[in-house]
Amino acid sequence: MTNPAQDAPAASGPAALKVALLGGGTVGSQAARILTEDAEALRDRVGAPLELTGIAVRSRGAERDWRADPALYTTDAEALVDGADIVIELMGGIEPARTLIRRALAAGTSVITGNKALLAQHGEELFALASETGAQLSFEAAVAGAIPILRPLRDSLSGDTVTRVMGIANGTTNFILDRMDTEGADFADALAEAQRLGYAEADPTADVGGLDAAAKAAILATLSFGAPYTLDDVAVEGITAITAEDNAAAADAGYVIKLLAIAERATAEDGTSGAVLRVHPTLLPREHPLASVRGAYNAVFVEAENAGQLMFYGPGAGGAPTASAVMGDVVSIAQRIVRGGPARLRTPVAHLPALDAAEASTSCMVVLHVADEPGVLRRVAAVFEEHGVSLETLRQVQSDRAAAPGASLRLITHRARQRDLDATVDALAALDAVHEVVSVLKVEGN
Ligand code: NDP
Ligand code: HSE
């Protein structure tokens, strides 16, 4: 790889490193601001100036959170990539981001990206190309915004065995659920506010449908377990079905609903060792550390054999926080270009297959609307017993169905295999005495 900083004549100081920025939206405009306003401090840290050579956008005249010199905006992303020492990809989406990143890596140019959707689908192809050419592909911003979580997993915990990663990894959904829980906000209003604040993806169905958190779960699992996972390995359920009634039931039982991304080592019923990756709305006890994560903040709980439990917390979305993570990668890559040294490669070390989510061990809260007559409790409890699922609590509760004849029951199970919990719920739905399975929510942290 060429080293512009070392090639420069001594008298004029190290040559500037040319930084191409692909995308000038929520995060890109903040990265441009930091590169411009903090240029001196960055030069001191890197040992050479960082020169922002251009910002690739779709529309040169569009409104921006922070506007760079108008001459920097271009629609010719390829030309920008070709002249760069470092490329920052903040366009989002699969194409043209994938082709542009490939173009840079093929030329030996290191790339920083926050594009978890791309990494979770095509990461292995991009990392293989980077390792062929000696370029580096860095992506701290792709998971949990400003929170430094990927480096700790990759470096600090590399001498330990990570067994489980469980986190609130999507700011938009946490913002929506928090507003619904604390202010009784309407789902659509809370989503619109999250979009206005720059937390949501260009297509927010990736947020509310759980796919954004799933992409992050795949990335977290890949780094935690040293084996490659993709979006297809994650069982995904979003928050679109969560109702005000679910929130009320959760609050009444002492829980809060959070969208969790979980990656854990597990052993299947047939003895296969692997990992289960899942994203779903989850009930957490109000006193659990993740329950107090508010607004668009994220937090990731890591469990390792020797370190025990660690929690990483901070702003999970938004322009400036995410640009902070991007700039950390920029400085690290720029320092390597200036001082020399090999790129940091990502090599899978373990073969830990993704297991079906039915193999996961979890507990759940089931709310049933049942006939109010003798023997119903016994018949309901018998279904749990038949499927080997043990009950922690069973209570008759008030619910929106109170006006209808019958009674509402809230049952919370002990941990059981997901397959057995699913079969239990199916059998409950088929009982004559059960008028309706009102809700089934997974419970963690109890
Ligand atoms: P935005 O939609 O705000 O910005 C995207 C930018 O890319 C815009 O400037 C847009 O141009 C440009 N762009 C998109 N497609 C093209 C194209 N085909 N050709 C040229 N330019 C294009 O996205 P964000 O800044 O929110 O997100 C960027 C990336 O960072 C995504 O991968 C996202 O997942 C990730 N990320 C975002 C976070 C956030 O909080 N927003 C947090 C963590 C990661 P124009 O302005 O002209 O439309
Ligand atoms: N849309 C994402 C979120 C951005 O809400 O978390 C940060 O990755």
What confidence tens digit (pLDDT) does each residue in 25-59 have?
A: 999 999 999 999 999 999 999 999 999 999 999 99
Residue 60 confidence (pLDDT): 96
Pocket flag, ligand 2, residue 201 (CB < 6 Å): yes
Short-list 397, 366, 361, CA closest to 166: 361
Q: What is the pLDDT of residue 397?
A: 83
pLDDT in tens, 413-442: 999 999 999 999 999 999 999 999 999 999
Q: What is the CATH number of domain 360-443?
A: 3.30.70.260
What residue type is 433 in one-letter code?
A: A
The catalytic residue among 18, 216, 258, 442 is 216
pLDDT at 206: 98
Where is 71: in which H helix or E strand? Answer: none
Distance of CA 341 to the CA centre of its chain: 31
Instruction: Using the atom order of ligand 2, give the atom closest to the CA of residue 143.
Output: 8
pLDDT for res 4 = 52
Closest atom of ligand 1 to CA, residue 212 = 34
Report pTM. 0.95
- Ligand 1 centroid to 207 CA: how many Å? 15
What's the confidence (pLDDT) of residue 403? 62
Distance between CA 125 and CA 13 in Å, rounded? Answer: 38
| Whether the CB of 24 sits within 6 Å of ligand 2 | no
Nearest CA to ligand 1 atom 31: 92
> Is the CB–ligand 2 distance for residue 329 below 6 Å?
no
Cis (ω within 30 of 0) for the bond into 96? Answer: yes
Residue 279 near residue 216 (C-beta atoms within 8 A): no
Best of 91, 138, 219 for a ligand 1 pocket test (most atoms within 8 Å of beta carbon): 91
State the distance from the centre of ligand 1 to the C-alpha of 93, rounded, in angstroms: 8
Asked if 258 is an active-site residue, the reply is no
Where are the chain's structural domains? 4-145+320-339, 150-315, 360-443
Residues of the chain with pLDDT under 50: 1-2, 5-10
The CATH number of the structural domain formed by 150-315 is 3.30.360.10
**59 alpha carbon to ligand 1 midpoint, in Å?**
12
CATH of domain 4-145+320-339: 3.40.50.720
Q: Does residue 172 have its Cβ closer than 6 Å to ligand 2?
A: yes
DSSP 243-304: -HHHHHHHHHTTEEEEEEEEEEEEE-TTS-EEEEEEEEEEEEETTSGGGG--TTEEEEEEEE
Pocket lining: 90 vs ligand 1, CB cutoff 6 Å: yes
Residue 137 · residue 336 · CB < 8 Å: no
By most ligand atoms within 8 Å of CB, the mutation choice from 27, 119, 207 for ligand 2 is: 207
Ligand 2 neighbour 199 (Cβ under 6 A): yes
What does the mean pLDDT of the chain come to?
Answer: 94
* Ligand 2 atom closest to Cα of residue 172: 5
How remote is the CA of residue 201 from the centroid of ligand 2, in Å? 6
Residue 423 neighbours by CB under 8 Å, 6+ apart = 387
Q: For strands 110-113 and 86-89, give the pairing.
A: parallel
